[in-house]
């Protein structure tokens, strides 16, 4: 699988400097809206959510986020408006190493905020949050050939940064 790097922002587009917040129960509606757009925009077919209603998905998100298992992700805001997120949860592996890892469910940046360095800010912010709770490993599933594009950060560097080795 290859990753395509996104070009740097155009000179008239300054990189965004959002405020990052750990995803908590107060973010349910904002996270749901971005998760719903992520599902529609990405054309994701796995897992199939066709039998789920918006209400049941919000309930699942609430239960996951309020379960107290630790970090649920990070949300980026500019002037109180959500512009991006990485959503997931901490998992414990029954065997093998690392025992604890962060499973990414979805990552999303609003279209008007793309190609301005926001995903890199989200990755770095979430990496810091995860290191504070002793987690230095992420896992993310994606359709074949759909490697994430993170401006200025290739997948090898991402793996090293998440592990705290950069």
Q: Is residue 96 part of a domain?
A: yes
Report field, pTM of the whole predicted structure over 0.95: no
Evaluate whether residue 4 is within a structural domain.
Answer: no
List the strands of the sheet with 100-109, edge to edge.
Answer: 19-22, 73-78, 81-92, 100-109, 138-140
The answer to the question of residue 65 being in a domain is: yes
Express each pLDDT in 101-116 by its tens digit.
888 888 899 999 988 8
Q: Which domain CATH number covers 109?
A: 3.40.630.30
With respect to residue 2, please indicate whether it lies within any of the assigned structural domains. no
In a domain, 157, yes or no: yes
Range ranked top by mean pLDDT from 6-15, 29-38, 113-122: 113-122
Residue span of the structural domain in which 144 resides: 19-162
Q: Is 44 a domain residue?
A: yes
Structurally, the chain folds into a number of domains equal to 1
Residue 8 lies in a domain: no
Q: What is the pLDDT of residue 3?
A: 43
């Amino acid at each position: 699988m290859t990753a395509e790097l996104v070009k740097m922002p155009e000179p008239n587009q300054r990189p965004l400097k959002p405020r990052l917040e750990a995803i908590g129960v107060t973010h349910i509606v904002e996270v749901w809206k971005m998760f719903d757009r992520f599902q529609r925009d990405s054309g994701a077919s796995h897992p199939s959510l066709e039998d789920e209603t918006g209400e049941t998905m919000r309930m699942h998100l609430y239960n996951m986020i309020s379960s107290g298992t630790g970090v649920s992700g990070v949300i980026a805001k500019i002037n109180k408006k959500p512009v991006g997120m990485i959503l997931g949860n901490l998992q414990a592996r029954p065997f093998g190493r690392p025992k604890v890892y962060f499973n990414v469910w979805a990552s999303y940046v609003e279209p008007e905020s793309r190609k301005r360095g926001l995903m890199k800010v989200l990755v770095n912010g979430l990496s810091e949050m995860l290191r504070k709770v002793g987690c230095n490993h992420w896992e993310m599933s994606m359709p074949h050939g759909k490697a994430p594009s993170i401006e200025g950060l290739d997948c090898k560097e991402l793996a090293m940064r998440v592990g705290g080795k950069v």
